[in-house]
Amino acid sequence: MTKKKAQARFVAACLAPALILVTLFIVIPTVQVFRYSLYQKSSFVGDETFIGFKNFQTLFNDSIFLESIQNQILIIVVITMFTIVLAIFFATLLTREEFKGKNLFRVIFYIPNILNIVIIAGIFSAIYAPSNGLLNTLLSSIGLDSLTRQWMGDPEIIIFSIIGALVWQAIGYYMVMYMASMTSIPENLYEAASLEGAGKFKQFFMITLPCIWDNIRQTLTFFVISTINLSFLFVQVNTNGQFGTQVMLNYMYSKAFSGNLGYGMAIGVITFILAFSMAGALNRVTKRDPLQF
């Protein structure tokens, strides 16, 4: 009994620092966000008036907020689609195929991920520049003048230009994650498959994909969370939400720190719920029995 007691005390002592930190820096701020969203409050120090769900009522009649949700979902869906396909494709190439400079490519793909978002913004302002930008110059030089566009100046395509930059940024990270789980697939599975006459495609769909399925599921949650965060940073640095490019966290930031903290926190609450439910839904619909090997 005393031993058990001592053990419990030890466990409690070990957990306490983490528990205190989590409470202090995660639980309390999150609760505060939910609380502030019910108040009319200009800043952290301003007076507060309880107004119930009025902030949320206003939000759902706020055309910019609705636009920001729309953009946010579009960005998450398109980025996830493109990044997942490209990352798995490159990961397969780099793990399953033999060619010169494999390691170099691995590094090159990963570089965008370690770059600061401000640098990425700088790179893409050079790529998308209308008259002397890399993209338009490349298109003209290969005779595709008709495809040149005002990438950041056309309301119809600016959101896709932003998505393009974020996909470029994300591929390397996810590629490395998929490569890690692909290398752990036993080689004999592939050998057996090829003896049975399965081609590369069949091997990919029958072995590689099922074996890394759990890994893909985990990354789906990352996609939702990191896309929400990175699109905020990228949009803030470039358009700052103007020109129909508003995203949820940027709108939250612009409201919360310009004298409407309560309203901003209400946006934060919706973002929180959206991120959670999207991640949850993705997790649910992708549930399969894990493949053991």
Partner 1 sequence: MKKLMRAGAVALAMATFVTGCSSGGSGDTAESEVPTNEDGQRILAFDAFVGGNGEEFLEEAAAKFEEANEDVDVQIRWSKDIDQEMQKDNASGKYADLVYYNLGQASNYTESMLNSGKVMDISDVMDEVADEIDTSITQPTAEYFGDGKSYLAPIMYTPAGLYYNKAELSEEELPTTWDEMFALGDKVHSEDANKYLFTYPIRGYFDNTVLGMLYQAGGEEYFQNALKYGEGTWDSDEGKLILETIAKLVGPEYLEKDTVANANVDGGFTVNQQSMIDGKALFMPNGSWIVGEMAETTPEGFSWGVMPLPAFEEGGERVVTTMTETVWIPAEAANADDAKEFIKFLYSEEAAEIFASHNIVSPRTGSADLLADEQLKGLFDVYNMDGVKAVSGTYAAYDATAVPDVDFKGTIYGPIEEIASGKEGVTVETWQESLTELWTTLRENPLSAE
- Of the pair 49, 277, the CB lying nearest partner 1 is at 49
Binding mask 144-183 for partner 1 (x = CB under 8 A): ------xxxxxx--x-------------------------
Does the protein bind partner 1 through residue 210 (CB under 8 A)?
no
Q: Which is nearer to partner 1, 46 or 210 (CB)?
A: 46
Q: What type of residue is 214?
A: D
Is residue 249 near partner 1 by the rule CB under 8 A?
A: no
101: left (phi over 0), alpha (psi -120 to 50) or beta: left
Among 30, 58, 183, 184, binds partner 1 (CB under 8 A): 58
DSSP 8-state code for residue 145: G
64 binding partner 1? (CB under 8 A): yes
3 state DSSP class of 254: helix
DSSP of 55-93: HHHHHTT-HHHHHHHHHHHHHHHHHHHHHHHHHHHHHHH
CB nearer to partner 1: pick between 32 and 286: 32
β-pair partners for 50: 39
Centroid of chain to Cα 265? 21
Q: Closest distance between partner 1 and the C-beta of residue 193, in Å?
A: 48
Interface pick for partner 1 out of 56, 62, 106, 113 (rule CB under 8 A): 62
Residue 128 near partner 1 by CB under 8 A: yes
**Of the residues 85, 102, 108, 259, which one makes contact with partner 1 according to CB under 8 A:** 259
C-alpha atoms less than 13 angstroms from C-alpha of 92 in its C-beta half-sphere: 17
Binding flag, residue 6, partner 1 (CB under 8 A)? no
138: contact with partner 1 by CB under 8 A: no
Distance in Å, CB of 158 to partner 1, minimum:
7
Long-range (24+ apart) CB contacts under 8 A made by 176-180 are: 176/91, 176/106, 176/109, 176/110, 177/87, 177/215, 177/219, 178/87, 178/88, 178/91, 178/212, 178/215, 178/216, 178/219, 179/91, 179/94, 179/95, 179/106, 180/215
β 39-41/48-50 pair status:
antiparallel
Total residues contacting partner 1 (rule CB under 8 A)? 60
Binding range to partner 1, per CB under 8 A, among 34-42, 74-82, 192-200, 282-290: 34-42
Least CB distance from residue 131 to partner 1, whole Å? 5
Q: Is 66 in the site for partner 1 (CB under 8 A)?
A: no
d(CA 168, CA 173): 10
Q: Which is nearer to partner 1, 42 or 215 (CB)?
A: 42
Distance CA 220, CA 87 (A): 13
Least distance between partner 1 and beta carbon 152 (Å): 5
DSSP state of 106: H
Q: Which is nearer to partner 1, 92 or 241 (CB)?
A: 241
Binding site for partner 1 (CB under 8 A): 8-9, 11-13, 15-16, 19-20, 23-24, 27-28, 40-47, 55, 58-59, 61-62, 64-65, 118, 121-122, 124-125, 128-131, 150-155, 158, 237-240, 242-245, 254-255, 257-260, 262-263
